[in-house]
Every structure is written in structure tokens, then in C-alpha cells.
Amino acid sequence: MPKKFEFTAVLDHPAGDVHAALIDERYWRDRVAASPTATVRIENPRGPGTLRVVVTERTEPSDIPALVRSVVRGPMVLERTDEWGALGADGATGLIAGAATGIPVDFRGTSQLRPTTDGTVLDLYGEVTVKIPLLGGQIEGLAAKMIGQIIEKDRAALASWLTR
């Protein structure tokens, strides 16, 4: 059974600036530059003010939680797709999806960027599914936690990018 997740990231920057970063190819290239195992592919799916980015990152077995390592042989490659629509008065909506090699896991969700009086809030709602008998539910919980860590890294990277 899929595990639902919900995360919120708060930024002390205007929604227009946050959205501009999220659709900026330079932001995403900088975002993965520090990781020697990551690549990025950028597309403009619906014209100006939109972006689809596919980030692929390899994780070595020693960096994978023991429960997952018991099912995965060798490195795991995670592919994540983020897509952002144009910014309107109420903010912008997006989609996130991902999957990994070596383990039947996928996640899907929606993102909402919305302005507040003090900055911007990013909400992410979705679910992760792991199709492994007996261990799937436990791994789904770990995967949801890992997605939360990714979202926190994204928030920190955005905050850093916006204060440059």
C-alpha cells in the first residue's frame, strides 16, 4: 500500500524570486555541481516561465540504509523529475516524480509554491510505493523520510542561491 507524504518548506524570499530560481537552469546546474554522481537535464515543457528538470544521482551501497541494502545489489540510481508551471497571483504549481534502479520504488506528488506576507511556502504532497513483499511498507517509510531530506536540501539550496 502506498505511503503518503506531506512536506512544507518556508523561505524568507518573495515568491517571484523563488519561482525564478526554480525555473533557472543555472540554479539546477549549481544544485548538482557538488555531487560527482549527479547529472541534470533541463527542458521548458510549456514555454516561458515553466521548467522540467530531471536529476539523476547514483548512490553507493554504503550510503543506503541497511534495510534497503538487503534488497538492492550494487549502486542505486535515483531519477527525479521536477516540473514547475508559470507563476500567477496565487503562486505556481508543480509536479514531482521519481524512481530508482535496483528496487521497485516510485514516488509522485504535487508541489504548490505560494506567497505569504513574510516570503514563500512550498508544499509538497504525494505518495511513495515500493513493490516488495513483506518489506515494502517498511521501505516506503524510509523512502518518504529520504524524500523529506531531499526537500530540506532543496530548501537550503534555494535559500543559499537566493542570498547570493
pLDDT of 39 over the 80 cut: yes
Domain holding 127: CATH number?
3.30.530.20
Percent of the chain topping pLDDT 90 = 51
Q: Is the pLDDT of residue 82 over 80?
A: yes
Which residues, in sequence order, are bridge partners of residue 8?
A: 123
Tell me which of 10-14, 34-38, 91-95, 157-161 is least confident.
Answer: 34-38
pLDDT over 80 at 133, yes or no? no
Residue 92 pLDDT > 70: yes
Q: Provide the domain limits for residue 106.
A: 3-162
- Which comes out higher in pLDDT, residue 64 or 33? 33
Secondary structure (DSSP) of 32-62: HHT-TTEEEEEE-TTSTT-EEEEEEEEE-GG
Calculate helix-pair angle for 136-162, 25-33, nearest 10 degrees: 120
**Helix (H/G/I), strand (E/B), else coil: 67:** helix
Q: Is 125 in contact with 109 (CB distance < 8 Å)?
A: yes
- CA-nearest of 105, 123, 126, 128 to 113 is 123
DSSP-assigned letters across all residues of 90-115: TBEEEEEEEEETTS-EEEEEEEEEEE
Note the pLDDT tens digit of each residue in 6-34. Answer: 999 999 999 999 999 999 999 999 988 88
pLDDT of res. 134: 61
pTM score: 0.85
**Greater pLDDT, 146 or 79:** 79
The pLDDT of residue 160 is 92
Instruction: Taking residues 137-163, report their average pLDDT.
Output: 82
81 pLDDT more than 70: yes
Count of domains in the chain? 1
